[in-house]
Structure 1
Amino acid sequence: MNRRKFIENSALAGSGLAIIGAASCTTKSSTENKINIQSIMDDVEFIDSEDRKKRIEKAALLMQQNSIDAVFIESGTSLDYFTGIKWWPSERLTGVLIFSDGTLQYIGPAFEKERLEEMITIKGDVASWEEHENPFELVAKLFKAKSSATATLGMEENVRFFQSNGISFYLPQATITNAKPVTAGCRMIKSPKELALMKKANEITLEAYRIGFSQLKEGMSQYDLSSIVAEASTALGATEAGWAGAMFGAYTAFPHGSKTAQQLREGDLVLIDGGCKLGGYQADITRTTIFGQPTQRQQDVWNIVKEAQTAVFEQAKAGVPCELLDATARAVVNKHGLGNGYENFFHRVGHGIGMDFHEWEYLVKGNSTPMQPGMCFSNEPGIYIYGEFGVRLEDCFYITENGYEAFTPQSPSIESPI
């Protein structure tokens, strides 16, 4: 039994894991032998140190406005966003203190100091700790030396509990607060360069889907389709192939897929959701199509989802509260008798997106945050009927001064998804 068959048949293989496994064992030439894939990376401009210096300047200003003396950021996308350092999160603390005057203090393990220094492009001091030493005490000491024992330290939201708790222990007189006004305050509003990277990432993803759909054949597994899309994304120029989850037939009613191995059959709906990354920025697209000819019910449900997505776009503009877009999509589904609360439309209509798949803000009931120019969101209504099928359509967009701009065109039809 080869590795792919083992993954497909394993009851323990979750959809995400199975996709990764299948992609890793697909022969390199499987897609390239069938289609001549050319990179579409013309005129791409990546984020550089000058961009990050401007981000730090904005963060310092936001700290001053919110009475925060410094922000602590550990390994993750915010560390990359502000410093360009890509560091795998482990049990050893590696991070940065950004102070309200714009200065930086890096912290990392002593045995990794040379590697950390090699990655630094934004000037700042580097402090290291030996294996027997306490990194939390070191962070607290550096913070107090620059600010004071009673100053205010902002924690980036994704700092893991063991680190935030450890640092807080050594700052008993300090005020520890959520750094969201600073981190989200910078990251929510995308620059023209960020928007260009996201647009290109979405274009690559959509073209990879087109290639994947062109390879549909009876008997193929959902993992085969996911592997083709991931391979095509890389060939087209993606810096990270990302995630591509495929579902067939009745399993399209599972919004994020099923662990059950599936084989494509005539008349099945095919749903694929995911996106590649380009220069650290994430795409996110969902398309639903038919393998063969759609039934009237499949066509009707697909049309309702398209109507809901279109209605959301019509409401997308600066000043509109995030929750209105969710209510708009839900009203369309309800009008056609397929919704009651979250029945059949299980999830919010969208989420913020940028360096992470899901970022601030969320298009969901109860979020009255007004949309602002530069904010990016997904628009992804769906209808899911367990035992039959599901339909979701997703395109990402950003708010402009005059409305919105979508990164990709809406799906034309159930039979021609791209």
Structure 2
Amino acid sequence: MTASSARSSAPPPIGAEERRRRIDALRAAMDRARIGAVLLGSTTSLRYFTGIAWSPSERLCGAVVTNTRIDYVAPGFEREKIAGLISAPGELLVWEEDEDPYALIADRVGAADVALDPDLPLFMYWRLRASIGDARLADAAPLIGPLRARKSPAEIALMQHAKSITLETQRRARSALREGVMASEVARFVDETHRALGGGGSSFCIVAFGADTSLPHGPEKDRALRQNDVVLIDTGCRVDGYNSDITRTYVFGEPTAKFRAAWDAEKEAQAAAFEAARRGALCESVDAAARRSLERRGFGPGYALPGLPHRTGHGIGLDIHESPNLVRGDRTPLDIGMCFSNEPMIVVRGEFGVRHEDHFHITASGPQWFTEPAKSLDDPFANAPAFG
């Protein structure tokens, strides 16, 4: 299997002006919560607010945002590299290997209460608590989460491009299948195609054949494709850090009547979830709509198999799984700019799984697909737009 190249031009990356607005919005949220500082670790929130993409490690590297300044914190030996990544103005504070970066932060924030990046590792929390005190530490999730949940037009454009790349990659992967090909070979083809189309390779890839498709996140062992196997490919890529995540399920050969009925039921459940996703509706109501549709077809109820064993969907952006989620108990109202997966998978244990996964974003007039759902079992890519 060999990938061919034909790229489509990507939208511009997130610019300095948009990041400035994000910082302003964070500061407004801090004022309302009476928080003096927010510590961002080496997480996607650091990238969201400052543009710095930094891999997490045991060394503290991040930024402290206050109402008047941004302080960047980094190991001394990373000074030049970090300095070259800074776009939002601020002071760079470095610490040497025999120094305590948590004491440095405590000294810098003074008496202010500090809200911590929700993705900061637990061991860093313990070190900060020792330096600052538990009473002055807070969770920054209520400040950061609502800002990141509502995507800007620029973010939506980047995700649209990433998803268009992945849909085309999915289409090409189906066309390249042959009897005897290993699942690992298909995964390599998907990665190469993502790369050839401008997606920087796969951010992840699940390829499953036959009964392995009943495992929602795929098998541990490799397997060859056989005639009349069910095929499930779940994959994505990133454009300027923003994720795609699309699943297609079909048959290499002739489907059974049982599988065809499940495929159609999955399509109906996905459509029911989409129709329920209106501005102001609660996230959990979208999940409920998908489950009602499946129950009418004899699946479930609830998480019972055969049926839907997980939530209907998740938020997406710089993280492939973001809050809020389309799941029972999440009472977040849908709002303009929120982006979600729609994937009410059907699992028939030991036989097959069917997952149609596409994503939508909320507009003033209702939900809008990033990619149109699979057209039919016999020709799932019939409605896929031309790429490039």
Q: Indicate yes or no: 2:73 matched with 1:112.
A: no
Check whether the contact 1:323–1:367 (CA below 8 A) recurs between aligned residues: yes
**Aligned match of 2:63:** 96
**Aligned match of 1:13:** none
- Give the TM-score normalised by the residue count of structure 1: 0.89
Q: 1:237 aligns with which of 170, 174, 198?
A: 198
The one-letter amino acid paired with 1:121 is: S
Q: Indicate yes or no: 2:99 matched with 1:138.
A: no
Q: 1:306 aligns with which of 267, 282, 286?
A: 267
| SS of equivalent residue, structure 2 residue 268 | helix
Query: 1:240 deviation in Å?
Result: 4.5
Percent sequence identity over matched residues?
Answer: 41
Encode CA deviations 1:304-362: one digit per residue, 9 max, x unaligned.
Answer: 00000000111111100000011111111111112122013110000000001100101
Number of residue-to-residue matches in the alignment = 379
**Aligned match of 2:92:** 126
| SS of equivalent residue, structure 1 residue 119 | coil
Q: Indicate yes or no: 2:247 matched with 1:282.
A: no
Distance 2:52 2:197 in 1: 25
- Give the TM-score normalised by the residue count of structure 2: 0.95
Encode CA deviations 1:139-182: one digit per residue, 9 max, x unaligned.
Answer: 111111xxx2xx32111100011112211211127521111122
**Aligned match of 1:86:** 53
Encode CA deviations 1:236-276: one digit per residue, 9 max, x unaligned.
Answer: 11135311211000000000001122111111110011211
Q: 1:168 aligns with which of 110, 129, 137?
A: 129
| SS of equivalent residue, structure 1 residue 203 | helix
Q: 2:310 aligns with which of 335, 343, 347?
A: 347
**Aligned match of 1:22:** none
Q: Unaligned 5+ residue runs, structure 1?
A: 1-29
Q: Where does 1:3-402 land on structure 2 (aligned, <5 Å)?
A: 30-32=1-3, 36-41=4-9, 44-101=11-68, 103-144=69-110, 148=111, 151-172=112-133, 174-344=135-305, 345-402=308-365
Distance 1:264 1:320 in 2: 42
The one-letter amino acid paired with 2:339 is: C
Distance 1:414 1:391 in 2: 11
Distance 1:188 1:31 in 2: 37
**Aligned match of 2:375:** 412
| SS of equivalent residue, structure 2 residue 203 | strand
Q: Unaligned 5+ residue runs, structure 2?
A: 382-388
Distance 2:331 2:16 in 1: 35
The one-letter amino acid paired with 2:95 is: W
Query: 1:227 deviation in Å?
Result: 1.1
Check whether the contact 1:239–1:279 (CA below 8 A) recurs between aligned residues: no
Distance 1:290 1:415 in 2: 8
**Aligned match of 1:16:** none
Encode CA deviations 1:200-235: one digit per residue, 9 max, x unaligned.
Answer: 100000000111111110011111111111111111
Query: 1:37 deviation in Å?
Result: 2.4
